[in-house]
Structures are given as structure tokens and as C-alpha cells.
Structure 1
Amino acid sequence: MTLLSLFATSFGVAFSGAMVPGPMLTVTIDESLNQGYKAGPLIVLGHALVELFLLIGLVWGLNKIIVIPWVQAVIAGIGGLFLLYMAYGILKGAGKAEIDLAASGKGKPGKNIVAKGILVSISNPYFILWWATLGLAYVTIALGKGVVGLGVFFFGHILADFFWYFLVAYLIGESKRFLSTKIYRILLFACGIFLAFLAVQFLYSGFSYVL
């Protein structure tokens, strides 16, 4: 596989994965409604830091640890509880939320949004399992081209995430000015319900690993 094809396939696989609804997309929508377009890149920055850690870990054999059933159960259990906590926070404030265009992009410090990107990534057992399987396969192929190949693979992967989540955040942030308070609250409520649904799924999968 050439470096160009490695980049292209890495971008394509990551982009298709990013488009699948999940915790990160839901949190991006929620943060974009409050913070505007900057939420997307900042969440992906936190996500990228986790992926960089996993990439380095896989090179050093981390995959042998994260495929152990009890480790997956712990990850899924903690992740489910964290998402449940996030869902509670969103649902609690959804009924009283007001659209404040003047405050858009001025709320939470960037580091808080980056931290949320980190937390929502490590709380997703399917994300970690992806890296332990398909991600590991790509790392193996990329290492055939040395450090450069590994860098090209990672750049293509992260670029896809940045592109998609920036697009989502921009569209959500810009559409905010056209939303009524009722629709705004419904969107927040939907985000909370979806996160709660994912939390239950993660908790169930955590139990299934040890049963």
C-alpha cells in the first residue's frame, strides 16, 4: 500500500465511522448549540489526544490488555455511568434552556470542551475496541512504511474527524439563530435521551462481558 492510498483509506474509514451517530456526535451537537462552531474542533482535539495515546499503546502491545473481557467490562461500565451522568445534566437543563446568541462561543473555556472530548472518547468501549481490532490492523500496515507511514495514517484519520465534526458544529452553531426556544429545548432533550440510551447499552455490554 502506497502512502497516498494509506492516507485515502484511513481518511475514508475514519470519515464513515465519524458519521455514525454516537456519544461524540451527540456531545458535539449539544456543545455547538451553546458554544458555536468552535466546539467541533475542540472536542476532536481531545478525541485526537486519546487516539494518539492508543496509537502509541498499540505499537507497544496495549491491544493484548484491552481485549481482556474484564478490562472491557470495566471500560464499558465506567463509560456507561459517565454517559448517564452527562445525559442527566443535559436533561436537567433542557426544560429551562434559553437561546442566547450573544453568549455563543463565550461560555466554557476551550480546555473544558477539550476535556469533554477526552472523556467522551475514553468512555466509549466500542471506540477502544475499534482501535484494538481494525485500528491495530491499520497500524500494522502503516508500520510497513515506518514512522512516516504511521504519521500518514494518523493524519488521515484525524483529518476526517476534524472535517466532519467542524462541519456539524458549524451548521448547528449557525442554525441556532433560526431556532425557536421550543425547538432548541427539544434538540437538547433529544441529545440527553440519546446519551441515556447509549449509556444503558454500554452498561449492558459491560455486564455481558463478565456473564
Structure 2
Amino acid sequence: MTVLGHGILELILIIIMTFGLKDFFSKPTVAGFIGLFGGAFLAWMGYRMIKSGINKSVSLESQRAGNSAGVRNLALAGALVSATNPYFILWWASTGMESIRQSYALGLNGVLFFFMGHIFSDFVWYTAISTAFSRGKKLISDTVYRWIILLLGIFIIAFSIYFIGSGWKMLQM
């Protein structure tokens, strides 16, 4: 239910970006800066993930969430937590916007498939994390978790290079 709330908020953002701002964001200069900024933000995220994996500063124990027993509407809580998370806002203002811009090159179907893939990946990721939290160290060790974070950080760095390259090409037009 929490991921549903998160997804509804993302759907609203995608609709606004696709229909309300698509002409503005399709301008080469704007698209180029979004690509550069989004790529730089992804590179920073990837670097932090790699650093935390190497320094062993990330663990399942330190990631445990507080008790949410008082929350009656988990979907609303998911939307509110996402909307107030500065990383969520930064991601959508940079990397998310660039993803929407690139997926719109395939028309509305491209945006729809991006959204479906993005929401599915959110659902899979948060399901895995909540399962890991509920089952504790029986399911995944801190070492395995650190390796996952490290490998995902490397993947994000590679993705950032693609966005930076795309942004640079757009600025050269």
C-alpha cells in the first residue's frame, strides 16, 4: 500500500511532465541541462552507494524504519513520505525528468512503458527490502546487502554516464 501511494504521486508527476511541460522540456538546451544535471545527480548517488558499500557504513540494521503502527492509510503515508523526501524531489527534477523526456521520444506508449517499468521496479525493490526487514538476517546478511548496494551503485554510475552523454549531445545541437 505504501508503494501504491508512492506510485500515485509519481503518476501525477509524470502526467504533469508529459502533458503540461513537454514542449518546454523538449527544447535542446533545456533537455541538455536536464540530462547533465540528472546524470550528475545519478553519479553522486552511485558514488555514495559505492562508498557506503566499501566503507561498510550501510547495513540492514541501520536501515530499519520506525514503527508505523499509528498510520491508518498506508497509501497516503507512501505519497507523503515520498513528497517530503528531498531525494525524491531531486530525482524527479533531474533524472526522472530526463527519463520522461527520453521515453516521450517513443510517444505516449514510451511514457506508459517507462512508468510501468519504474513502478514495477519500485514494487520489487520495496518488497525485497520489506521482506528482508521482516525476516531479518535469516534472509540476507549485511555482507550480501553491502554487495548489492555496491553493485547497484556501479550500475547507477554507468546510467549517469549515459545521461551526461545524452545531455551533452543535446547542448551541441
* TM band (smaller chain): 0.5 to 0.7
3-state SS of the aligned residue for 1:106?
A: coil
Match of 1:66 in 2: 25
Match of 1:105 in 2: 65
| Counterpart Cα distance in 2 of 1:89 and 1:183 | 17
Root-mean-square deviation (Å):
3.5
Match of 1:12 in 2: none
Q: Is this contact kept in 1: 2:38–2:160, CA < 8 A?
A: yes
Give the direction of change, closer, same or farther, for the CA distance of 1:180–1:117 in structure 2 (3 Å limit). same
| Counterpart Cα distance in 1 of 2:155 and 2:140 | 20
- TM-score (ref. length: structure 2): 0.67
Q: Deviations over 1:146-191 (max 9, x none)?
A: xxxxxxxx9xx97886566334311332035210111010011112
**Gaps in structure 1 of 5+ consecutive residues:** 1-36, 140-153
Match of 2:74 in 1: none
| Counterpart Cα distance in 2 of 1:99 and 1:210 | 41
Match of 2:91 in 1: 120
Amino acid corresponding to residue 171 of structure 2 in structure 1: V
Counterpart pick for 2:36 among 73, 77, 84: 77
1:173 aligns with 2:130: yes
Spell out structure 1 runs of 4+ moving beyond 4 A: 109-112, 157-164
Give the direction of change, closer, same or farther, for the CA distance of 1:46–1:83 in structure 2 (3 Å limit). farther
| Counterpart Cα distance in 2 of 1:206 and 1:161 | 21
- TM-score (ref. length: structure 1): 0.57
**Gaps in structure 2 of 5+ consecutive residues:** 68-76
Match of 2:103 in 1: 130
1:53 aligns with 2:53: no
**Shift of residue 132, structure 1, vs aligned partner:** 5.9
Match of 1:96 in 2: 57
Q: Is this contact kept in 1: 2:14–2:100, CA < 8 A?
A: no
Which segment is superposed worse, 84-93 or 124-133? 124-133
| Counterpart Cα distance in 2 of 1:160 and 1:90 | 22
